[in-house]
Homo-oligomer: A and B are copies of this chain.
Amino acid sequence: MPYREDRLWLQTDAPYELKCETDLALPPEGYRLSCINGVYSVASADEAGKLYGSYALREKILLGETDFSVTSAPAVSERILNHWDNITGVVERGYSGASLFFQNGNISYDPERIRFYARLLASVGINRICFNNVNVTGRSAKLITGELLPDLAALAEIFRPYHIKIIVAVDFNSPVMLGGLPTSDPLDEGVAVWWRAAADMVYAAIPDLAGFLVKADSEFRAGPAALGRTQADGANVIARALKPHGGKTYWRCFVYNCEQDWRDAQTDRPKAAYDHFQPLDGTFDGNVILQIKYGPSDFQVREPNSPLLGAMRNTAQAIELQITQEYTGQQIDLYALAAQWEEIFTSPVSDTRQTRDLVGREIIAVTAVANTGRDENWTGHTLAQANLYAFGRFAWNPAEKAKDVLNDWIGLTFGTEPQLREPLLNMLLTSRDVYEKYNAPLGVCWMVNIHHHYGPSPEGYEFMKWGTYHRASRTSIGVDRTEKGTGYTAQYHPYLDKLYSDPATCPEEMLLYFHRMPYDYILKSGKTILQHIYDTHFEGVEDVENYIATWISMKPLLPDSAYQSVLERLRRQLDNAKEWRDVINTYFYRLTEIPDEKGRMIYP
């Protein structure tokens, strides 16, 4: 598949004169820009800072800005992209074609394209990449063996000039699977020896490797719990093997009972990460980073932030976002994640702190699941490029505003004409709300088709083993997660516990995440929950219709390939929005037999 550079924010470099200087007073990777008498200048303490500064300068020039007096440094030293690429070439939750890195069980890529990709990532400050899926299956476990390591080292070589270091996802059970040991027990000395030898070999090939990423005890993957050991035991044995080389263990916290019985109303999946990890605070080695999904469920359209974020004062944490649109439209529906990320980072952790205040303190890394693949336009939906771009910006500076980031992306990608830029910015900024309107209502989550997660299925997950229940009846819906229910809210700071525990103060968009409510409960809008559901679902479809009209009106301002491909996606989105509208409305109509106040069509 050929790829296009001409419709990305990072287009072929325009030449411009640039003066570089060293200023050791600047923080690592930081830069200071200036433009004096027409001479652009980048000051930095290190080579990485020079790189980021020159990209930042280039952006300003392309955007036609005039003020170049900027000093900037990243909030965290690790800004990580996680690919979920299988070594077969298939990308788990990938909606942009095959893997950029793997084919048929081997590392295989177009070096020119990968070089461009490295440059693209560096241009937004990403400095860590993991190529292989956290679900380490088949031959991908062997990436840390002599069989595949030379190829991995060659790939790392391409990223090195762009100051991007490699992470490898490894299988916790490697000592058994690869080493032939009888156990992977982290307290077994033979296992520790095996991990040290494995680390030594990997670092001999890739001396600047960032570390190993591990999904353990999670969704049928091996882990320490199955061996009667703690998550800290598991993470530490690997961290100790990496430590002499300066490497880290990235240890995912997505640990929950994925074989729950739906009849069990006490077990509550959102409680799992906190219950498993918070009590272990202080027992993880210094080079372990706990990688925590931003929300307690699983990258849903709407959920609260994870109570585990910031709940461990003595443990390094990474917040994990998802750029690939698993539950958010699969790069068919428009969904600019920047708006959601701004919410996540500005969500309160207590009465005095927001999540973004943790970044650079407890949270020392920002990571996300990639949305790129071999599609010509990299991201399936051309406008989904904005999500990769925005991730870089938010990882660098979690205090970013979605509006600024998206406005910059549009300017860099499509130009700065206001007739294009303003309507497109409006589309992107509202896209999350629109998707939410026609999706599951009020934070109820999981009303999606099982397995592939696109399209509505109101009871698709209702009786399954994944711990994902809304328990809708003819009168009410939702799970009481307060102290009167599952007790989940107690995992939050008392300020938030109180806020979320009272339906009157709970943010309404999360009402059904925290409470079981009757359909006739009156929202602040004066509408019942039921009428709110009907209204938002009709509105969502109308909004998508308006997107299409807007997009068509901008045709003269758009390159034809982008115009056509986005139009095709918007039309598919409209079908999807109608399907959601009708299924969700019908579902609630059948449960209540209360008609829409406005008499619109709800299928019986």
- What B residues does A603 contact at CB under 8 A? 262-263, 265
Chain B, Cβ-Cβ closest to A456: B463
Query: Does A593 count as interface, using CB distance less than 8 angstroms?
Result: yes
Known: A456-B463, A463-B583. A475 touches B593 (CB 8 A): yes
What is the CA–CA distance of A475 and B589 in the complex, to the nearest angstrom?
A: 11
Which of A250-258, A432-440, A466-474 is near enough to bind chain B? A466-474
Partner of A591, one of B450, B474, B582, B604: B474
Contact B263 A590 (CB under 8 A): no
Query: Does A592 count as interface, using CB distance less than 8 angstroms?
Result: yes
What is the CA–CA distance of A586 and B469 in the complex, to the nearest angstrom?
A: 13
Which of A458, A459, A472, A604 neighbours the largest number of chain B CB atoms within 10 Å of its CB?
A459
Contact A593 B456 (CB under 8 A): no
- What B residues does A592 contact at CB under 8 A? 474
What are the interface flags for A365-395 relative to B under an 8 Å C-beta threshold, 1 for contact and 0 otherwise? 0000000000000000000000000000000
Contact A473 B591 (CB under 8 A): yes
- What B residues does A463 contact at CB under 8 A? 456-458, 583, 586
- What B residues does A456 contact at CB under 8 A? 463
Query: Does A190 count as interface, using CB distance less than 8 angstroms?
Result: no
- What B residues does A582 contact at CB under 8 A? 263
- What B residues does A474 contact at CB under 8 A? 474, 590-593
Give the oligomeric copy count: 2
Contact B591 A591 (CB under 8 A): yes
What is the CA–CA distance of A583 and B475 in the complex, to the nearest angstrom?
A: 18
Query: Does A460 count as interface, using CB distance less than 8 angstroms?
Result: yes
What are the interface flags for A95-135 relative to B under an 8 Å C-beta threshold, 1 for contact and 0 otherwise? 00000000000000000000000000000000000000000
What is the CA–CA distance of A463 and B460 in the complex, to the nearest angstrom?
A: 10
What is the CA–CA distance of A33 and B528 in the complex, to the nearest angstrom?
A: 79
- What B residues does A460 contact at CB under 8 A? 457, 459-460
Contact B475 A604 (CB under 8 A): no
What is the CA–CA distance of A265 and B263 in the complex, to the nearest angstrom?
A: 34
Chain B, Cβ-Cβ closest to A583: B463
Query: Which A residues, 439 to 495, have Cβ-Cβ distances below 8 Å to chain B?
Result: 450, 456-460, 462-463, 471-475
Query: Which A residues, 578 to 592, have Cβ-Cβ distances below 8 Å to chain B?
Result: 582-583, 586, 589-592
What is the CA–CA distance of A265 and B603 in the complex, to the nearest angstrom?
A: 9
Beyond the given pairs A457-B459, A458-B463, A473-B589, 19 more chain A to chain B contacts, judged by CB atoms under 8 angstroms and listed by A's residue number, are A262-B583, A262-B603, A263-B582, A265-B603, A265-B604, A450-B450, A456-B463, A457-B460, A458-B459, A459-B459, A459-B462, A460-B460, A463-B583, A471-B590, A471-B604, A473-B590, A473-B604, A474-B593, A591-B591
The 5 closest A-B pairs by CB, nearest first: A473-B590, A459-B459, A474-B474, A263-B603, A463-B583
